[in-house]
């Protein structure tokens, strides 16, 4: 997917597959379990390199998660992947019982997050995965924006001895971090300084938020941009500073309106520093089939939408 | 252990089950009572290789109680096997006790999985069995499910994957007591012919009287020594086995006996 002003890089799912293959050569305990989507989730890169440590349990997400729990209980380091919606919504109780409750070291990757799966339509779109994943006690939840950050996120996740959910996207992603990314769990990345308002976001929306900041700049509005790739734990200090120093926020996400990044940020700000906040998200509806860029426009998830929301919030300051 | 001593052990486990659930005032004694002989066979009949002093010994055989509501039978067996003192059993279901209403992994030595949401234990067992293969370890994985648990689609997902990977180091035991929460299995969701279903999914299947210890031991040995494909043991059992008035009324599912009923039950079992 192209965003003007950015070089288009690989899809985050592709970067995930490459990073996983790289990790596989470093750690012999790393195993991958798939539910027959390896060519889409890109775990097939690992499977080709390490067939003896790769298992395909068929189209069976519940079993996928349970098998990973058993492997982790024995000290293996399983990574599982499916489409975000199938992994979280189809196998939720298994994530809860077989991984979260015993706090097992399983890495869960949902690809095809958000509405940018596009033409395949709403059945394939993970638009509630962040709400579901963050509700799992003890889980870390990360949403990388581009191929470079995805590699950093995958490597950081591998160092965590506990459950992690990572959302990746289907289409090629604009490169926000062409020069590298220092991703740390629990730390926001301030991509742009600003004093009037803060645009807090992650994933595909990050490039669009930067574009929105450039638009606002032309109007004399100085917008800070925070990358919240670490959704859980979220960087509460960075959010409090943003609220104190800029006095208003917009949270943009490729997700339904309830339970995602917007809810998390609102909770932190309510506790630490209440300021006017606006939200850019899918709302309370499912998207339709269409090209990714068309859908972002149709459902109000463009740079223009972020800038418009920022203007509205600024009036409430 | 001789059969007679195993029978004594079974009688002792039944006593623990009744006493701890009655003390707790809740729990599933009848679903625990039906599983006693299989659990006795596993822990005291020389089937499971384990060491209570090293509960997480990597080469131990695993027992995963997927029908987690039968936790009392597992706790009783673990206590009698020496994992923790039997005096702790009376803390069942109390705030602060590791002996929760359903088993919780890592909270209790010897509890291999967090169960209680039916259908998940066999998948976890597949993971353990694959890990044994990856690590070149010779341990065997035993998973007990309820018969009503066969309603869960995940059981069959797990069964397919165990057959695909030829996990002969995995055994599934169905505690086939014929009843689930609201009525007879045959009415709630007919499963027959159950052995044929498992065979069609690529498993070896064996049907036994789940209260006849000699049959239980023979089947468990055969499953442990299975080649090629995993084995399922359909253990025909009686819900509430050993206590006549519980056997006669499935409405005892999920109910502890009152102190008076517990006295009657212990009398029937020869403890009074």
Each residue of A71-92: pLDDT tens digit?
A: 999 999 999 999 999 999 999 9
Orientation angle between helical segments B71-81 and B36-44, nearest 10 degrees: 30
Provide mean pLDDT across the span B136-144: 98
- Per domain, the residue ranges of chain A are 8-174, 189-310
Main-chain dihedrals φ then ψ at residue A316, nearest 5 degrees: -95, 0
- The residue written with tokens 């499953």 in the block is B223
The percent of residues above 70 in pLDDT, for chain A, comes to 100
Provide mean pLDDT across the span B242-255: 91
In chain B, residues with a C-beta closer than 8 Å to the C-beta of A73 are 105, 112-113, 124, 127-128, 131
Whether pLDDT at B7 is above 80? yes
Buried b (16+ CB within 10 A) or exposed e, B101-134: bbbbbbebebbbbbbbbbbbbbbbbbbbbbbbeb
CA separation for the pair B118, A273 (Å, rounded)? 44
A61 is catalytic: yes
Confirm whether A8-174 and A189-310 share one CATH topology.
yes
> How high is the pLDDT of residue B48?
98
Q: How confident is the model at residue B254 (pLDDT cuts 50, 70, 90)?
A: confident
Q: What is the mean pLDDT of chain A?
A: 98
Q: Judging by beta carbons within 10 Å of its beta carbon (0-12, 13-18, 19+), is residue B82 exposed, middle or buried?
A: middle
* Domain annotation for chain B: domains and CATH numbers: 3-268 (3.40.50.970)
Whether pLDDT at B235 is above 80? yes
In chain A, residues with a C-beta closer than 8 Å to the C-beta of B131 are 70-71, 73-76
> How high is the pLDDT of residue B250?
83
Q: Are A282 and A127 in contact (CB under 8 A)?
A: yes
Closest residue to B134, CB basis, from A53, A57, A102: A53
> Cβ contacts of residue B182 below 8 Å, gap of 6+?
B188
Provide mean pLDDT across the span A60-75: 98
Over residues B30-88, the pLDDT tens digits come to 999 999 999 999 999 999 999 999 999 999 999 999 999 999 999 999 999 999 999 99
Buried b (16+ CB within 10 A) or exposed e, A235-269: bbebbbbbbeebbbbbbbbbbbbebbbbbbbeebb
Annotation: CATH topology of A189-310: Rossmann fold (3.40.50)
Collapse the DSSP code of B21 into the 3-class scheme (helix H, G, I; strand E, B; otherwise coil) and give the result.
helix
In chain A, which among 90-149 make CB contacts under 8 A with chain B? 93-94, 96-98, 101-102
CA dist A47 → A44, A300, B224 (Å): 5, 38, 31
Helical spans, DSSP H, in B165-212: 185-188, 194-200
Q: How confident is the model at residue A250 (pLDDT cuts 50, 70, 90)?
A: very high
Q: Judging by beta carbons within 10 Å of its beta carbon (0-12, 13-18, 19+), is residue B11 exposed, middle or buried?
A: middle
In chain A, which among 192-211 make CB contacts under 8 A with chain B? none
Annotation: CATH topology of A8-174: Rossmann fold (3.40.50)
Task: Quote the ipTM score.
Answer: 0.97
Structure tokens at B250: 């499935």
Query: Residue A288: how many CA atoms within 13 Å on its side-chain side?
Result: 5
> How high is the pLDDT of residue B1?
76
> Which of the two residues, B272 and A220, has the higher pLDDT score?
A220
Whether pLDDT at A16 is above 80? yes
Provide mean pLDDT across the span B136-148: 98
Catalytic residue among A14, A61, A236, A254: A61
Q: Are B238 and B34 in contact (CB under 8 A)?
A: yes
> How high is the pLDDT of residue B106?
86
CA dist A76 → A24, A54, A105, A177, A276 (Å): 12, 12, 8, 32, 46
- In total, chain B counts a number of residues equal to 272
> Cβ contacts of residue A315 below 8 Å, gap of 6+?
none
């Amino acid at each position: 997917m192209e965003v003007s002003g950015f070089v288009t890089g690989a899809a985050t799912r592709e970067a995930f597959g490459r990073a996983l293959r790289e990790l596989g050569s470093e750690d012999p305990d790393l195993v991958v379990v798939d539910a027959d989507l390896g060519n889409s989730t890109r775990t097939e890169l690992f499977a080709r390199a390490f067939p003896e440590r790769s298992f395909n349990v068929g189209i069976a997400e519940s079993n996928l998660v349970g098998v990973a729990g058993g492997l982790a209980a024995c000290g293996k380091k399983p990574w599982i992947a499916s489409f975000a919606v199938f992994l979280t919504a189809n196998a939720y109780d298994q994530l809860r019982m077989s991984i979260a409750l015993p706090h097992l070291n399983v890495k869960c990757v949902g690809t095809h997050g958000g509405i940018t799966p596009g033409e395949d339509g709403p059945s394939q779109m993970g638009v509630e995965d962040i709400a579901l994943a963050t509700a799992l006690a003890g889980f870390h939840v990360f949403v990388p924006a581009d191929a470079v950050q995805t590699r950093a996120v995958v490597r950081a996740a591998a160092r965590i001895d506990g459950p992690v959910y990572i959302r990746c996207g289907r289409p090629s992603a604009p490169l926000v971090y062409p020069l590298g990314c220092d991703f740390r769990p629990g730390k926001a990345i301030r991509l742009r300084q600003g004093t009037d308002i803060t645009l807090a976001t992650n994933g595909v929306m990050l490039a669009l938020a930067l574009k929105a900041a450039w638009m606002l700049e032309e109007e004399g509005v100085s917008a800070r941009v925070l990358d919240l790739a670490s959704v859980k734990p979220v960087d509460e200090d960075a959010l409090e500073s943003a609220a104190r120093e800029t006095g208003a926020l917009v949270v943009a996400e490729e997700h339904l309106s309830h339970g995602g990044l917007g809810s998390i940020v609102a909770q932190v700000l309510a506790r630490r520093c209440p300021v006017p906040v606006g939200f850019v998200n899918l709302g309370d509806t499912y998207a339709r089939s269409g090209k990714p860029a068309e859908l972002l426009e149709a459902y109000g998830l463009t740079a223009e939408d972020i800038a418009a929301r920022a203007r509205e919030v600024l009036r409430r300051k | 252990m001789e059969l007679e001593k195993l029978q004594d052990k079974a009688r002792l486990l039944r006593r623990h089950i009744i006493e701890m659930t009655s003390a707790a005032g809740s729990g599933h004694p009848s679903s625990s009572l039906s599983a006693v002989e299989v659990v006795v066979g596993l822990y005291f009949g020389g089937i499971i290789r384990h060491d209570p002093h090293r509960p997480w010994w990597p080469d131990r055989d695993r027992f995963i109680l997927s029908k987690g509501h039968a936790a009392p039978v597992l706790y009783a067996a673990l206590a009698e096997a020496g994992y923790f003192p039997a005096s702790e059993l009376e803390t069942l279901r109390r705030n602060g006790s590791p002996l929760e209403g359903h088993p919780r992994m890592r909270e209790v030595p010897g509890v291999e999985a967090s169960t209680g949401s039916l259908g998940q234990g066999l998948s976890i067992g597949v993971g353990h069995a694959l890990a044994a293969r990856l690590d070149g370890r010779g341990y065997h994985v035993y998973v007990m499910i309820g018969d009503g648990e066969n309603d869960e689609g995940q059981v069959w997902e797990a069964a397919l994957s165990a057959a695909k990977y030829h996990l002969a180091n995995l055994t599934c035991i169905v505690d086939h007591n014929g009843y689930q929460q609201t009525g007879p299995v045959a009415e709630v969701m007919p499963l027959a012919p159950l052995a044929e279903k498992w065979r069609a999914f690529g498993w070896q299947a064996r049907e036994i009287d789940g209260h006849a210890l000699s049959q239980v031991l023979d089947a468990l040995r055969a499953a442990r020594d299975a080649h090629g494909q995993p084995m399922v043991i359909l253990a025909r059992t009686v819900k509430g086995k050993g206590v006549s008035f519980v056997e006669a009324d499935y409405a005892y599912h999920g109910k502890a006996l009152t102190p008076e009923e517990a006295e009657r039950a212990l009398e029937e079992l020869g403890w009074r």
